[in-house]
Structure 1
Amino acid sequence: MKTILLHVLSELQESRSASGAVHIIKGKRSAQTIQDIQLFHLSKWAGAARFWKGTDPSALAEELFNQQLITGAGRRAALTNKGFEQLKQAEWLQQLYFQGREYEWNGFAEAFWRKLNLTVQAAGSLASKNKGFLPVYAEAEERDAVRKIIKSAGSRHVNRLLYNKLEGELSLLSERSADIFVSRLAGNASQGKTVKQLAGRLSEEEVFLRWRSVLHWLMKSEWPAELQPLISHIEKQKSRLTNSAEKTKRFVYEGKTKAEIAALRGLKSSTVEDHLVELAMFDPDFPAHNYISEKRLKDLSIILQSSDQQETLKELKEKAGDKGSYFDIRLAGALLKNRKGAES
């Protein structure tokens, strides 16, 4: 994930630490991370490393420092000239159809992959009358979806549908990405190759991101009615909110205070504040008046609108003084972004 870290740090424009970039690609569920994703237009790579099995991005960030690809002044990290040169060599990165915030953040791509992989394997094995195959891993709900597909359409018909669909979609992508994706699929008597096994002339990072980008491409396309269970979980669960914030939302609309929500959910106050900021950013009907006074919101909005968007929360708090807490500032900022989004 070194290349992704370099790219994200370049987009953060020396306004966040290396840890801030790591949190973004790992899909950390914090209000600060979610705000940064919106502020610096990093939705494409948000959560990109959530299902990455290689070296932890935190360790990779340390490697970037040691290799003098990035430097840090205080809590702000920046690419060195050497870092920018290395980033320029990864032109393939910008050619990928990758939608991390939409498909990786809440695990949609991973669930889709498990269902698709099992369907390809099961339909192929059953059509060839090989009922003794060792199924690839899938959650119980995902296995049920695959059974439903094969039971209703039949293994041979499912095979034809899958072949036609995948052949048509993969023909629109680069041969390299298509080959990687097909090699990852389980077959009649095989489990499919791992990212590590496929890495050779390409890095594990490139193999991983090309594979995931194909998943994203497939997920945004139209699927035959018989294969709809493969993507039904996307629309069913699709929300810009994290799962935990969705649970907090119920209590917010019941008029509960921060303290009451924390007690009811067994969460820290800071976690509830994260959820409230997330709701304020994405929910147009969020009852802000229950959590910040109109005067305080007005005062902080003036400060925020006249400030540099790259200023840290600490710098904004110094400007605000006693006009608002850290939470008040974050909430006001989220509400402003929500309103700007509604106007655009």
Structure 2
Amino acid sequence: MLATYLEIIILYCLNQINGERTIYSIYHLLKGKKSSQTIQDAHLFQLYPFFQVFPSISRNDMEEIIGKFEREGWINKKNDQYFFLTEKGIDILNEELRRKPVPDYLNGWKYQNVAQLFWERLSLFVQVCSNLINRNPDFVPVHKRKETLFWLKKFLAMQKKERFVLAKQLYNELTTCFEANHQIDPAIIVVRFTGFNKIGLTENQAAEKLGMEQTYYHVSFLNIFHYMIETITKSPARFPLLHSIIPEADKFVPLTNSAKRTYELINSGMPMERIAKVRNLKMSTIEDHIVEIALNMKEFDISPFVDRSIQANILEAAEKASSKQLKHIRAQAGNASYFEIRLVLAKYGGQQWN
């Protein structure tokens, strides 16, 4: 039996990569390392829901869990740092996922830039509304970050509604959002809210109160916020107040700042070689940026970088290859470069052959 949901996730990730990446690829994924390799692995092995879901995980935590899996006979070592699940491990994983499946709305890659800020804004707004309608101006803000406090001050100044009307609208929109999906348990979030004469629970306290293992509560909490962001952004007219709390939509395209700059130059018509020179970066770094852009922007056209006939060869080779390792695909892809293979897999990998 797996003790924590974190262990279930790690065993699930090990099963997905099936000995083709090291255990530290999972560690970097859960921690949220924005390297080109981690970004591509998240998409290639369909692990993007877990990106940066456990940013505080340590290498020691990871190694201890892997050690436990080995001792229990759930995994075997392929070679140093590479593991695959045994039949016993697969049975354990399937049993655990039947009881606690991967949450439907968890999407760390898409929402990790906005979820924490959304929580800060929402929970602070709830606290302010609760105290305003109870005529209590003297309270300690639940969040102290200057940016969040400044945002709320500006946000409230823009609202032209009386405080009771504003609080009622917030309540109605939250209720509508939660009631739209009966699989969502709003208590997971509500117990964390601070209000008039009420102090919200910490993550550990909430997990204990709800009788949930701590890492399972943590993932369930993130899942609800990812659900809320998705639901609200799809129907902004239905949730005007909540929609105005969600950070800027451009943060939903989680490009690194450097990749964003490369994307801007590509759109200006500048060739790769010139971009590398202007930005004083290695060509390999620009290639990493282009792969990152293809992974995150569905409309991005890769044909200027990879001829369409070569794209077809790469996809055919990927379907035939016994492994998702690039060297195995390249062996069957003719003269395609590693960059071309990475770019085609970034663009089409998950939907075509994963």
Place the TM-score, normalised by the shorter chain, in its bin. 0.7 to 0.9
Please state if 1:44 is matched with 2:46.
Answer: no
The structure showing larger relative contact order (alpha-carbon pairs under 8 Å, at least 6 residues apart) is 2
Question: For the structure 1 residues 336 and 66, does the alpha-carbon distance in structure 2 shift closer, same or farther, using more than 3 Å as the test?
Answer: closer
Q: TM (normalized to structure 1)?
A: 0.79
Question: For the structure 1 residues 186 and 267, does the alpha-carbon distance in structure 2 shift closer, same or farther, using more than 3 Å as the test?
Answer: farther
- Aligned Cα root-mean-square deviation (Å): 3.4
Q: Deviations over 1:60-105 (max 9, x none)?
A: 3312221124333125422345544543235454263333146434
User: Equivalent of 2:138, from 127, 132, 147?
Assistant: 132
Question: For the structure 1 residues 199 and 226, does the alpha-carbon distance in structure 2 shift closer, same or farther, using more than 3 Å as the test?
Answer: closer
Question: Which has the larger displacement, 260-269 or 118-127?
Answer: 260-269
Give 1:208 deviation, angstroms. Answer: 0.5
Write the letter of the residue equivalent to 1:167. Answer: T
Please state if 1:98 is matched with 2:105.
Answer: yes
Give 1:277 deviation, angstroms. Answer: 1.3
Give 1:112 deviation, angstroms. Answer: 1.0
Q: TM (normalized to structure 2)?
A: 0.77
Q: Deviations over 1:285-327 (max 9, x none)?
A: 43643x457786676555445434x331233345568x34432
Aligned to 2:83: 77
Q: Mapping of 1:175-324 within 5 angstroms? A: 177-189=185-197, 192-200=200-208, 201-222=211-232, 223-231=238-246, 233-239=247-253, 241-258=255-272, 260-265=274-279, 267-281=281-295, 282=297, 284-286=299-301, 288-289=303-304, 291=305, 300=314, 303-308=317-322, 310-318=323-331, 323-324=335-336
Q: Mapping of 1:26-41 within 5 angstroms? A: 26-41=31-46
Aligned to 1:330: 342
Question: For the structure 1 residues 185 and 265, does the alpha-carbon distance in structure 2 shift closer, same or farther, using more than 3 Å as the test?
Answer: farther
Write the letter of the residue equivalent to 2:51. Answer: A
State percent identity of aligned pairs.
Answer: 26
Give 1:332 deviation, angstroms. Answer: 3.9
Write the letter of the residue equivalent to 1:94. Answer: P
Cα distance in 2 between the residues matched to 1:292 and 1:159: 54
Aligned to 2:13: 8
Aligned to 1:111: 117
Cα distance in 2 between the residues matched to 1:37 and 1:199: 28
Give 1:207 deviation, angstroms. Answer: 1.3
Write the letter of the residue equivalent to 1:224. Answer: F
Write the letter of the residue equivalent to 1:205. Answer: T
Give 1:204 deviation, angstroms. Answer: 1.6
Structure 1, unaligned stretches of length 5 or more? none
Structure 2, unaligned stretches of length 5 or more? 1-5, 233-237
Write the letter of the residue equivalent to 1:2. Answer: E
Give 1:138 deviation, angstroms. Answer: 6.2
Aligned to 2:127: 121
